[in-house]
Chain A
Amino acid sequence: MKKTLLTTIAALALGTAAMAEPVKVGIASEPYPPFASPDAAGNWVGWEVDMIGAVCAAAELECVITPVAWDGMIPSLASGQIDAIMASMSITADRMQTIDFSNKYYNTPTVVIAAKGSGILPTDEGLAGKIIGVQVSTVHQDYAQTHFKSAQIKLYQTQDEANQDLVAGRIDATQADSIALDDFLKSDTGACCENVGSVADDKDILGLGVGVGLRKGDDALKEKFNAGIAKVIADGTYEKVSAPYFASSIYGG
């Protein structure tokens, strides 16, 4: 009896070791179209969600998508509630002090949008005396606080709320990723506003692109994700996933 029990347990343990425990991939619980947003049936859809599926399949990992509040993302990773972050988080030197990143899987410019005909430019002079809204805990917040010192900066929990306040006229401009803002400008409510241009680049603050966030020292998982990303790019899955969303590749330089 004891022998059968031990052998069963050993078999199960070996079996599960071969299967590997699921990797909890954190995404932001607030909608961020077209990268990740919930649909009416409660499922998460979007380019980033599809990319998570593709990269995990290529890396032979079993990934479980776990929505986490954006400003609790890094603490959740550090405390083990999630194992990886794939929530459009940019690779910056500041963040690299606390967490590790995989190689990038996309890189898009940062733009500022404002109400049509406002005459705002994405520079410190162009925003002097205006109110610019940014999402907390993002490179855009860092950038605005460093470069747009003569503007008044309002911090929002989600980019969506900043967009809403732009439509409502409470803020004059908002800065974020060009793709997310393009998606907003194409929507009904975004008809009020226009893209006033990209901000001057600052690699230290804006980072080197978006990568998978991992716990410091979790090199095994980092290798797996890097392998998965490389495979997805090499065998054309990247283009296949991006085709329904974007006209051209967003991998960037």
Chain B
Amino acid sequence: MLEALVDAFPTLALLAYEPPGWGANLLRGLVNSIQIALGAYAVGLIIGTAGAFGKLNGGPVTRDLLAIYTTVVRAVPELVLILILYFAVTDLVNQGMVAMGYARVQISGVAAGIAVLGVVQGAYSTEVIRGAILAVPAGQLEAARAMGMPPLKTAWRITLPLMLSNAIPGLANLWLIATKDTALLAIVGFAELTLQTRQAASSTKAFLTFFLAAGVLYLLITLVSGVIFGRIEKWARRGQRGSGAGT
């Protein structure tokens, strides 16, 4: 059956895994994309948690600075941010190193991509996590304080689990944004899936085949992520009222 399909659409042969098929290239690009997305997502979560706590419990200056950070990042297109950060970060780091007398350090493309996308994700994560923390019923926190629970224990045992179930839909959305934003790194020439697709399409002129194949791969990521996050949300909502029966 596979042969019949390839006979009908000869360009499908270009997707084969072994050269002269470009399948291996595309998969390499896919792995790169997922790597960067994971890294950026993790960095974003760390920045987001810190930012959310800063916005809720910090002093007025901290809160305003964080507000500026989230507003600017959410107002400026990712493409522009990627360009500014990609060149500015490496430039500043290198100038700093040179000024301090060290040799220029090489920031790999992966690290730069993760840093840039992580900063962007951090701004969105801050808002999602802050909203989720605010949605934790105040009564639970008051009860914990009334029982004399130290703040760190409260955060670990009460705030975090309750916050997670509120935050999962927003965080799932952020993960999808992270995976799709990796496509923008194609514009700075980083070898992830979209760039590999364009290179393959340019070299073989089979544009529709490769772009559709890349679309299928991205859809697969989305669908698998949806299933995984659905499971995580079910786990996070365990024991909460109205979680099992009605849905």
Category for how many chain A residues contact B: 20 to 34
Stretch with Cβ within 8 A of A (4 or more), from B119-127, B150-158, B187-195, B227-235: B187-195
**Cross-chain contact A40 with B90 (CB below 8 angstroms):** no
Q: How many A-B residue pairs have CB under 8 A?
A: 71
| Cα separation A67 to B186 with both chains bound (whole Å) | 11
**Cross-chain contact B189 with A40 (CB below 8 angstroms):** no
Q: Given A69-B187, A80-B104, A40 and B20 touching (CB < 8 A)?
A: yes
**Cross-chain contact B19 with A75 (CB below 8 angstroms):** no
0/1 per residue, B90-102, Cβ < 8 Å to A?
1100100000000
Stretch with Cβ within 8 A of A (4 or more), from B22-30, B136-144, B161-169, B211-219: B22-30
The residues of A that contact B28 with a CB separation of less than 8 Å are: 42
A68 interface neighbour in B20, B25, B189, Cβ under 8 Å: B189
CB within 8 Å of A: which B1-50 residues: 19-22, 24-25, 28
**Cross-chain contact B202 with A160 (CB below 8 angstroms):** yes
Please tell me if A1 contacts chain B, counting CB pairs below 8 Å.
no
Please tell me if A39 contacts chain B, counting CB pairs below 8 Å.
yes
Q: Which residue of B lies closest to A40 (CB)?
A: B19
Please tell me if A224 contacts chain B, counting CB pairs below 8 Å.
no
Q: Given A79-B87, A79-B94, A81-B90, A42 and B25 touching (CB < 8 A)?
A: yes
Chain B residue total in the interface (Cβ 8 A): 29
Chain B residues touching A, majority SS: helix
The residues of A that contact B202 with a CB separation of less than 8 Å are: 30-31, 158, 160-161, 164
The residues of A that contact B91 with a CB separation of less than 8 Å are: 78-80
Please tell me if B65 contacts chain A, counting CB pairs below 8 Å.
no
**Cross-chain contact A72 with B24 (CB below 8 angstroms):** no
Closest chain-A Cβ to B33's Cβ sits at a distance in Å of 15
Closest chain-B Cβ to A33's Cβ sits at a distance in Å of 8
0/1 per residue, A62-77, Cβ < 8 Å to B?
0000011110100110
Q: Which residue of A lies closest to B21 (CB)?
A: A40
**Cross-chain contact A29 with B189 (CB below 8 angstroms):** yes
**Cross-chain contact B94 with A39 (CB below 8 angstroms):** no
* Residues of A in contact with B (beta carbons under 8 Å apart): 21, 24, 28-31, 33, 37-42, 67-70, 72, 75-76, 78-81, 158, 160-161, 164, 187-189
- Subset of 13 A-B contacts with CB under 8 Å: A24-B106, A38-B199, A38-B200, A40-B19, A42-B24, A42-B25, A68-B188, A72-B86, A79-B87, A80-B106, A81-B90, A161-B202, A189-B205
Of all A-B residue pairs in the complex, the 10 with the closest CB atoms, nearest first, are A69-B189, A29-B189, A40-B19, A79-B91, A160-B202, A80-B94, A41-B19, A80-B104, A40-B20, A68-B189
Known: A31-B202, A79-B94. 11 other contacts (CB 8 A): A29-B199, A33-B203, A67-B191, A68-B188, A68-B189, A72-B87, A76-B87, A79-B90, A158-B202, A164-B205, A187-B205
